Amino acid sequence: MKRISIDPITRLEGHGKIDIFLDDEGNVANAYLQIPELRGFERFCLGRPAEDMPNLTNRICGVCPEAHHMAATKALDAVFHVDPPPAAKKLRELFYSIFYATDHTTHFYALGGPDFVVGPDAPPAERNILGVVAKVGMDVAGKVLKMRKDGHNLLEMIGGRKVHPNWGLPGGVSRGINEEQRREIEARGREAIEFAKFSLQIFEAVVLKDTKYNFVDIITGGVYTHETYNMGTVDENNHVNFYDGQIRVTAPDGSEHAKYDAVNYREYVAERVEPWSYLKFPYLKKVGWKGFVDGMDSGVYKCTPLSRLNAADGMATPLAQAEYERMYETLGGKPVHHTLATHWARLVELLYAAERWVELANDPEITSPEYRVLPTETPTEGVGCVEAPRGTLTHHYWTDERGILTQVNLIVGTTNNNAPICMSVKKAAQGLIKGGKVNEGLLNMVEMAFRAYDPCFGCATHTLPGQMPLVVTIRDAQGEVIERLSQYVE
Amino acid sequence: MSEKPAENDTAAPEQPKGKLALYWAASCGGCEISVLAINEKILDVAAAFDIVFWPVAIDAKVHDVEKMPDGHIDVCLFNGSIRTSEQEYMAHLLRKKSKVLVAFGSCAHEGCIPGLANMSNREEIFTTAYHETPSTVNPDRVRPRPETTVPEGILHLPVFYDSVKTLDQTVPVDYYLPGCPPEADRIWDAIVAILEGKLPEPGSVIGVDTTVCEECPRTRTEKKIKAFKRTWEVIPDPDTCLLEQGLLCCGIATRAGCGARCPEVNSPCIGCYGPTNEVKDFGVRLMSALASSIDSNDPEEVDRIIEEGIPDPIGSFYRFSLAASLLRRKKLAGNGEGT
């Protein structure tokens, strides 16, 4: 049997590796996405004071520390049995909305966008953010840089630091904002709404109206489609919410499979261990693990911007709601199972995050000095959950009566998507490899398949030019190299 | 550096450009985000240097580095700690190819928070992650292995070590840039120092040699601590020294450079910039600074104050520096590779 190993050139940092096996006819027999990394937070946090968790778990990911900081802080509310005052919850959601808008901007312009804006078959040297700038104009670079810079400056102003905030506490936050800061936040938020609208216009012009590549056909084509369950957090109106709400799971046919409070996550989600990856594979417990397959009978679920939109009934802000409706009308109604539509959904979420940012900045309570209450009860156990940009993020802590951690369970955003990413990689490979012929295009096809998920285990995919350097080595059954393909590497 | 650009002109076109490499080993990606947070100045960096290796941003690959003559790279900024043989290999490779190797950020410098894993070993970490975590369903007690036979062939995973190591426990290091992550402004300062040939003595930390207290605007008087308080137990006054209010603020022992960002938002310093010069062990320095702030001469009372108020000494005193400390790790049974 022939084997194709797709190793990010960053393999030496150990972020992700794909092995594709071909049968005797040269067709894909199976594909494995391996995550060769583990740091053991669930172990080494034991014995630490629970209140350290927002700072400790920041370091799980320097790209989305705000998500871990918020999930940990909410878990502490539960551990210490304390309900933060309204202003504290609003400040946290404001902070989180700014983070979301900043993070989604990075993904669309630097990572996901180039395949569409510059084109999937453009020379690799152009298929990056510089190519995006060349295609849509120099002023775009300025807008993107400004959006990211403003976002990080506000996150620092509110949470203490541009990377790794130190702000969340059980019962609230360590400091509120004053009127001068509020005005600055609001002004930048209004610009963020315009930026989000502008980004959707770019998407419309270069993707939806494209006639060269027929992107809408590519998006809706079978190679990038998986009919799985979808998960996301919804508010009391079943609208998408990033900071708080209930977890809703819809089935491949769009019906509601479950809606539950995060504290009950163990009734609905279980994690599987495979010997060939350090990353576990979550699945829906009530459906069960049936392998890496689609369908109503398979417990595999997705947890992405598109999944959140699929699992909700709409968006809580008017402009985002209009874009939500437009997306589903264009793509033939709900649910949408086309993985590449995740990029579109991400821009709808960007607009929602910006609108929510301004709404909260205008909330009369946002500058209230009542941003914290002290816990009075003995700490025990608690679950904290937020929607990380890359999936539902769950922190669960148990402590002794002094608030010292005795057990920790974490289900991290991207982990939810481990199985579907493996499936997407396999399907892309199957779409291209026939009769032993390996097309150069496979590399970018595979890249596009998992880039849509914005996976965080490949911090390698959080790259400035939006390129995942890949090397494909094809070996025969004796392990002799018979062909070597590469992209972005020479 | 052999190719120094003209002083005070970071982009002098007539000067040969220096060669810069950036690499990440076991890290969270926050150092890369902080480099990007220098914003438009990243264009100045690209103008002043040929960036010959930066997996996060450019296309050069490890084979390209392997082909370079020794000492080809003028400056390598290396972030992340060393946990696998692959990372160890990259550390040796980049040491050999670089004239100046900088341990960039807390992981490379001191092991950082993931270095707290040195209180456990591989077996314990695996048992927790793959068997004990309550959402894991694993009746067959499967765990990841270096080699797995699947129906189609054999799959390989790197071996997970017992210990986290700092960069200078692996290869000689010329400079250190502290912080988790280093603040973008300090990164820019370091780049300017490199460009202007104004780096300090080899072996130094690039940065100021004062403490966070020196740049903290809070009012300080004599410290007379009667009891330490946990952060959730007290709403501190926004203008008074946090340590004087009984909070375990690490600013007293931590190198300045961040602008006292955490005290600015009413949170204690957690020590991410590590110790000042001449301090071998951050935790010992912090403990002695705290002990001298306690308002008691009775050793038993001092013990009681510390025991009651600081329930996790390792996590509190060595939050970022356990791997680099005199302790390094919890003792391994048998002949572990961890020390």
Neighbours of A196 (CB within 10 A): 28
Query: How many domains does the structure of chain B reveal?
Result: 2
Average pLDDT of chain B is 88
pLDDT band at B320 (very low <50, low <70, confident <90, very high): very high
Rg (CA), chain B: 22
Note the pLDDT of residue A489.
Answer: 37
Note the pLDDT of residue B55.
Answer: 72
CA A18 to chain centre: 20
pLDDT digits (tens, 9 = 90+) for B128-172: 999 999 999 999 999 998 889 998 888 888 778 899 999 999 999
In this prediction the pTM is 0.92
Asked if A55's CB is within 8 angstroms of B232's CB, the reply is no
Asked if B155's CB is within 8 angstroms of A14's CB, the reply is no
Which whole number is the average pLDDT over B278-297?
91
State whether B191 and B266 are in the same domain: no
Which has the closest alpha carbon to A95: A149, A146, A158?
A158
Note the pLDDT of residue B6.
Answer: 41
State whether A98 and A216 are in the same domain: yes
Q: Is A58 helix (H, G, I), strand (E, B) or coil?
A: helix
- Examine residue A74 and state whether it is found in any structural domain, yes or no: no
State whether A186 and A114 are in the same domain: yes
- Examine residue A373 and state whether it is found in any structural domain, yes or no: no
Structural tokens at position A234: 């919804």
**3-state secondary structure labels for all residues of B283-315:** HHHHHHHHHCCECCCCHHHHHHHHHHHCCCHHH
- Examine residue B339 and state whether it is found in any structural domain, yes or no: no
State whether A198 and A173 are in the same domain: yes
pLDDT band at B5 (very low <50, low <70, confident <90, very high): very low
**Interface pTM, i.e. ipTM:** 0.92
CA distance A105 to B257: 29
Q: End of a domain among A321, A337, A353? A: A337
State whether B191 and B277 are in the same domain: no
State whether B40 and B183 are in the same domain: yes
pLDDT band at B4 (very low <50, low <70, confident <90, very high): very low
Asked if A469's CB is within 8 angstroms of B55's CB, the reply is yes
Query: How many domains does the structure of chain A reveal?
Result: 3
Q: Measure B130 CA to nearest chain A CA, in Å.
A: 7
- Return the ∠ at Cα A270 (arms to A268 and A272), rounded to 5°: 160
State whether A314 and A352 are in the same domain: no
Note the pLDDT of residue B47.
Answer: 80
Asked if B27's CB is within 8 angstroms of A62's CB, the reply is yes
Note the pLDDT of residue B25.
Answer: 85
- Examine residue B174 and state whether it is found in any structural domain, yes or no: yes
Of B24, B90, B143, the CB nearest to A275: B143
Which whole number is the average pLDDT over A227-251?
98
pLDDT band at A163 (very low <50, low <70, confident <90, very high): very high
Which whole number is the average pLDDT over B292-297?
89
- Examine residue A75 and state whether it is found in any structural domain, yes or no: no
Neighbours of A209 (CB within 10 A): 10
Note the pLDDT of residue A277.
Answer: 87
Residue A205 maps to which CATH number?
1.10.645.10
Asked if B152's CB is within 8 angstroms of A30's CB, the reply is yes
- Owning domain of residue A246: 226-337
Asked if A324 contacts A65 with a C-beta cutoff of 8 angstroms, the reply is no
The answer to whether residue A351 scores a pLDDT higher than 60 is: yes
CA distance B184 to A141: 20
- Examine residue B326 and state whether it is found in any structural domain, yes or no: no
- Examine residue A289 and state whether it is found in any structural domain, yes or no: yes
Question: Most A CBs within 10 Å: which of B157, B180, B216, as the mutation test of the A interface?
Answer: B157
Longest dimension (CA), chain B: 71
State whether B236 and B177 are in the same domain: no
H-helix or E-strand spanning residue A320:
helix A318-331
Tell me what percent of the residues of chain A surpass a pLDDT of 90: 60
Return all residues near A486 (Cβ < 8 A) that are at least 6 apart: A443, A469, A470, A471, A472
pLDDT band at A315 (very low <50, low <70, confident <90, very high): very high
Cα distances from A165 to residues A58, A158, A425, B267, in angstroms, run 8, 9, 35, 10
Note the pLDDT of residue B213.
Answer: 96
CA distance B134 to A201: 45
Q: Where are the beta strands (DSSP E) in A413-488?
A: 470-475, 481-487
pLDDT band at A278 (very low <50, low <70, confident <90, very high): confident
- Examine residue A462 and state whether it is found in any structural domain, yes or no: yes
Asked if B311's CB is within 8 angstroms of A49's CB, the reply is yes
State whether B169 and B232 are in the same domain: no
State whether A214 and A112 are in the same domain: yes
pLDDT digits (tens, 9 = 90+) for A122-151: 665 566 666 677 777 777 878 888 999 999
State whether A200 and A239 are in the same domain: no
Question: Which neighbouring-strand residues pair with A408?
Answer: A397
- Examine residue B207 and state whether it is found in any structural domain, yes or no: no
DSSP string, B227-279: --B-GGG----SSB-TTTTTB--GGGTSBP-S-SHHHHTT-----TT---TT-
CA distance A315 to A355: 11
Note the pLDDT of residue A24.
Answer: 85
- Examine residue B9 and state whether it is found in any structural domain, yes or no: no
State whether B253 and B291 are in the same domain: yes
Most confident of the following: A5-19, A187-201, A472-486, B16-30: A187-201
Which whole number is the average pLDDT over A381-392?
95
Of A45, A163, A462, the CB nearest to B34: A163
Which whole number is the average pLDDT over A429-438?
78
CA distance A270 to A72: 20
Burial of A184 (0-12, 13-18, 19+ CB in 10 A): middle
- Owning domain of residue B172: 18-113+161-195
* Residues of B whose CB is below 8 A from A280: 129-130, 136
Calculate the CA dihedral of residues A151, A157, A162, A164 and round it to 10 degrees: -120
Note the pLDDT of residue A40.
Answer: 87
State whether B30 and B83 are in the same domain: yes
Asked if B62's CB is within 8 angstroms of A145's CB, the reply is no
Asked if A160's CB is within 8 angstroms of B144's CB, the reply is no
State whether A332 and A346 are in the same domain: no
The answer to whether residue A424 scores a pLDDT higher than 50 is: yes
Note the pLDDT of residue B31.
Answer: 92
Asked if A16 contacts A483 with a C-beta cutoff of 8 angstroms, the reply is no
Question: Most A CBs within 10 Å: which of B59, B86, B145, B185, as the mutation test of the A interface?
Answer: B59
State whether B82 and B109 are in the same domain: yes
Burial of A374 (0-12, 13-18, 19+ CB in 10 A): middle
- Examine residue B323 and state whether it is found in any structural domain, yes or no: no
- Examine residue A470 and state whether it is found in any structural domain, yes or no: yes
- Examine residue A356 and state whether it is found in any structural domain, yes or no: yes
Q: Measure A220 CA to nearest chain B CA, in Å.
A: 30
Note the pLDDT of residue B337.
Answer: 43
DSSP string, A136-183: H-HHHHHHHHHHHHHHHHHHHHHHS-SSS---EETTEES----HHHHH
The answer to whether residue B121 scores a pLDDT higher than 80 is: yes
State whether A93 and A170 are in the same domain: yes
The answer to whether residue A472 scores a pLDDT higher than 60 is: no
State whether A32 and A106 are in the same domain: no
State whether A21 and A102 are in the same domain: no
The answer to whether residue A440 scores a pLDDT higher than 70 is: no
Q: Which of A480 and A120 is assigned the larger pLDDT? A: A120
Of A10, A170, A490, the CB nearest to B232: A170
Asked if B232's CB is within 8 angstroms of A464's CB, the reply is no
Structural tokens at position A245: 């709400």
Note the pLDDT of residue A123.
Answer: 65
pLDDT band at A401 (very low <50, low <70, confident <90, very high): very high
Average pLDDT of chain A is 86
Structural tokens at position B102: 């900088």
- Examine residue B136 and state whether it is found in any structural domain, yes or no: no
For residue B334, which amino acid is it? G
How far the first Cα of chain A sits from its last, in Å, is 29
Question: Most A CBs within 10 Å: which of B23, B116, B254, as the mutation test of the A interface?
Answer: B116
Most confident of the following: A128-132, A434-438, B12-16, B230-234: B230-234
State whether A330 and A346 are in the same domain: no
DSSP string, A347-390: HHHHHHHHHHHHHHHT-TTTT-S--B----SPP-EEEEEEEETT
State whether B46 and B107 are in the same domain: yes
CA distance A306 to A316: 16
Burial of B156 (0-12, 13-18, 19+ CB in 10 A): middle
- Examine residue B239 and state whether it is found in any structural domain, yes or no: yes
State whether A114 and A193 are in the same domain: yes
- Examine residue A46 and state whether it is found in any structural domain, yes or no: no
Neighbours of A219 (CB within 10 A): 23
State whether B94 and B228 are in the same domain: no
Phi-psi sector, A245: left (phi>0), alpha (psi -120 to 50), beta: left
State whether B190 and B101 are in the same domain: yes
State whether B233 and B278 are in the same domain: yes
Burial of A447 (0-12, 13-18, 19+ CB in 10 A): buried
Q: Pairing mode, if any, of strands B18-24 and B49-53?
A: parallel
Asked if B137's CB is within 8 angstroms of A34's CB, the reply is no
* Residues of B whose CB is below 8 A from A265: 135
H-helix or E-strand spanning residue A216:
helix A215-220
Tell me what percent of the residues of chain A surpass a pLDDT of 70: 85
Chain B residue at shortest CA distance from A61:
B28
Note the pLDDT of residue A108.
Answer: 84
CA distance B320 to B111: 6
Of A3, A145, A160, the CB nearest to B40: A145
Structural tokens at position B276: 């000042």
Which whole number is the average pLDDT over A75-93?
98
Residue B75 maps to which CATH number?
3.40.50.700
pLDDT digits (tens, 9 = 90+) for B213-261: 999 999 999 888 999 999 999 999 999 999 999 999 999 999 999 999 9
Q: Measure B101 CA to nearest chain A CA, in Å.
A: 18
Which whole number is the average pLDDT over A381-406?
96
User: Is the bond leading into A54 cis (omega within 30 degrees of zero)?
Assistant: no
Cα distances from A269 to residues A34, A229, A394, B227, in angstroms, run 21, 12, 11, 43
